[in-house]
Amino acid sequence: MAVIELILEILIIVLSLIIIVAVALQKSKSEGITGVTATSESENYFGKGKELGNEEKLAKITRICIVAFVVISIILTILFAMDAAAKPDTETTTSAIESISAML
């Protein structure tokens, strides 16, 4: 179980880094006043199609990584809860017994 948890934890870290980079690379949906008045070189027919293709791919990668992140997070939460339920908390039990015996 520990190996699976370790692999999933590493995968969560990698996915979070991919999500951060993918979101940082995406263009903002609102360009403000410059989007209305200014025209860029990529606004021509060929440049815009290529740009949209890359943006769509980046958005798809982001969505897939986010879904995988959420699913793996839920799986890890369940695994950790199962581990916590399976292991009795002996340290807390021992300290509780000691404190009760000290009161008596």
The pLDDT tens digits for 21-63 are: 999 998 877 665 555 555 555 555 555 556 668 888 999 999 9
Structural domains of the chain, count: 1
Domain interval for residue 59: 8-22+40-85
Look at residue 46 and tell me if it is in a domain. yes
Whether the predicted pLDDT of 78 surpasses 60: yes
Task: Tell me, yes or no, whether 30 lies in a domain.
Answer: no
> pTM above the 0.85 mark?
no
Q: Which residue has the tokens 């897939």?
A: 64
95 within domain boundaries: no
Q: Give whole-number Cα distances, 68 to 6, 11, 98, in Å.
A: 16, 9, 45
DSSP 39: -
Query: Is 56 a member of any domain?
Result: yes
Instruction: Report the distance separating Cα 58 and Cα 61, nearest Å.
Output: 5
Whether 45 maps to a domain, the answer reads: yes
User: Measured between alpha carbons, how far is 70 from 64 in angstroms, rounded to an integer?
Assistant: 10
